[in-house]
């Protein structure tokens, strides 16, 4: 059922998330992926930052290369867990010096051995405090995390929304959600966010599930639920990556198309550093490569820029 037909739009915008590669081989694969995905003209791309800064150098190197070799607007993720304000600020300044003007500002998770999160004695208290700190360093375009099913540390869904509001009020321009698998999860969350007075864009984070076991583990930690139908879909496929791939694309495309029908126009795709799944999603959402768009225009076929 279409919730609000007036909202349906052809204007689709995508952003892509990558993780910094560990080996030369993975680095080559990532740049091949980036080359292919550039054709989708993403609104921005982002590079994750490993727990407590464990990928600090690799994240920065990837961002530098993006700034030097592409025209893609790039965002560096940055967490404040386990670091003093001075250490976190230094990383933000490195991003700025590398030409990076966008940051995804995050608190990060406490190391497993520590249990519950506690701020560093000289650190930022939480992501909202980090956002406020970043606005004092430079005119960054800041994004933050949102949790359609609430963050596990949150005492209630209302407190979680209050926390999101604090991050936006501190200077973030948009939020990107944790992954979810039912369109209603996101749509209900949006209703609650708008009712709470949050007007900033909240972009759904789309995760194509290629490795069900890993996602199941991760979902447990981050408070996302795995629907029974999804578990059934991957039953018996542990040793069959090719079939899992096809199902991953189908499930992610189905979720995106359902959201699109409800008027959602922006999608943040967790690419897993691979091009095919993301290209399939973009293509099904109606995006075409810049090359094809130009060809259609020059042949006077009267095609809309992002027509299907």
| Closest residue to ligand FAD: CB criterion | 154
Residue of 27, 28, 31 whose CA lies nearest to 55: 27
159 binds ligand FAD (CB under 6 A): yes
Each residue 166-195 as x (binds ligand FAD by CB under 6 A) or -, in order, gives -x--------x-x-----------------
Q: Select the residue interacting with ligand FAD from 38, 70, 84, 154 (CB under 6 A).
A: 154
Burial class of residue 115, CB neighbours in 10 A (0-12, 13-18, 19+): exposed
Q: Give the rounded distance of the alpha carbon of 38 from its chain centre.
A: 16
Closer to ligand FAD at the Cβ: 87 or 109? 109
Using the minimum distance from each CB to ligand FAD, give the nearer residue, 234 or 270.
270
193-212: which residues touch ligand FAD (CB under 6 A)? 205
Query: Do the beta carbons of residue 104 and residue 131 sit within 8 Å?
Result: no
Among the listed residues 160, 174, 251, 287, the single contact to ligand FAD using CB under 6 A: 160
CA nearest 144: which of 136, 153, 134? Answer: 134
Question: Do 177 and 146 form a contact (C-beta atoms < 8 A)?
Answer: yes
Tokens linked to 6? 């007036």
Contact track, ligand FAD, 98-127, x by CB under 6 A: ------x-xxxx---------------xxx
Provide, rounded to whole angstroms, the least separation between the CB of residue 137 and ligand FAD: 17
Structure tokens, 183: 């369109």
305 is known as an active-site residue: no
- Residue from 16, 18, 44, 49 binding ligand FAD (CB under 6 A): 49
Asked whether 154 and 126 are in contact (CB, 8 A), the reply is: no
| Token pair 């095609």: residue | 303
Smallest gap from residue 87 Cβ to ligand FAD (A): 15
The residue from 79, 185, 260, 278 that contacts ligand FAD (CB under 6 A) is 79
- From 98, 103, 142, 145, residue interacting with ligand FAD (rule: CB under 6 A): 145
Helix-then-strand count for the chain, H and E: 11, 8
Burial of 135 (0-12, 13-18, 19+ CB in 10 A): middle
Closest CA to 41 of 308, 300, 289: 289
Sites of contact with ligand FAD (CB under 6 A) = 48-49, 51, 77, 79, 104, 106-109, 125-127, 145, 147, 151, 153-154, 159-160, 163, 167, 176, 178, 205, 222
Residues classed as catalytic: 17
């Amino acid at each position: 059922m279409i919730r609000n037909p007036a909202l349906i739009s052809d204007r689709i915008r995508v952003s892509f998330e990558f993780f910094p590669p560990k080996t030369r081989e993975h680095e080559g694969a990532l740049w091949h992926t980036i080359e292919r995905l550039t054709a989708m003209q993403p609104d921005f791309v982002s590079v994750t930052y490993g727990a407590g800064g464990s990928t600090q150098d690799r994240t920065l190197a990837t961002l530098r290369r993006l700034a030097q070799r592409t025209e893609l607007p790039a965002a560096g993720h940055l967490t404040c867990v386990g670091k003093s304000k001075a250490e976190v600020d230094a990383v933000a300044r490195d991003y700025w010096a590398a030409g990076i003007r966008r940051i995804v500002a995050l608190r990060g998770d406490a190391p497993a051995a520590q249990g519950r999160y506690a701020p560093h004695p000289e650190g930022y208290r939480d992501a909202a405090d980090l956002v406020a700190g970043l606005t004092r360093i430079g005119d960054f375009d800041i994004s933050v995390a949102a949790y359609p099913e609430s963050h596990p540390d949150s005492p209630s869904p209302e407190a979680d929304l209050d926390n999101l509001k604090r991050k936006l009020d501190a200077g973030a321009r948009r939020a990107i959600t944790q992954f979810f698998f039912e369109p209603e999860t996101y749509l209900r969350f949006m209703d609650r966010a708008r009712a709470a007075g949050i007007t900033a864009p909240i972009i759904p984070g789309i995760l194509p599930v290629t490795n069900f076991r890993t996602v199941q583990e991760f979902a447990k930690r981050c408070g996302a639920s795995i629907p029974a139908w999804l578990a059934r879909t991957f039953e018996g496929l542990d040793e069959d990556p090719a079939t899992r791939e096809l199902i991953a694309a189908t499930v992610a495309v189905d979720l995106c198309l359902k959201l699109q029908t409800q008027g959602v126009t922006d999608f943040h795709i967790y690419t897993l550093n691979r091009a095919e799944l993301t290209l399939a999603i973009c293509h099904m959402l109606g995006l075409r490569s810049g090359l094809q768009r130009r060809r259609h225009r020059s042949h006077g076929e009267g095609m809309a820029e992002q027509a299907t």
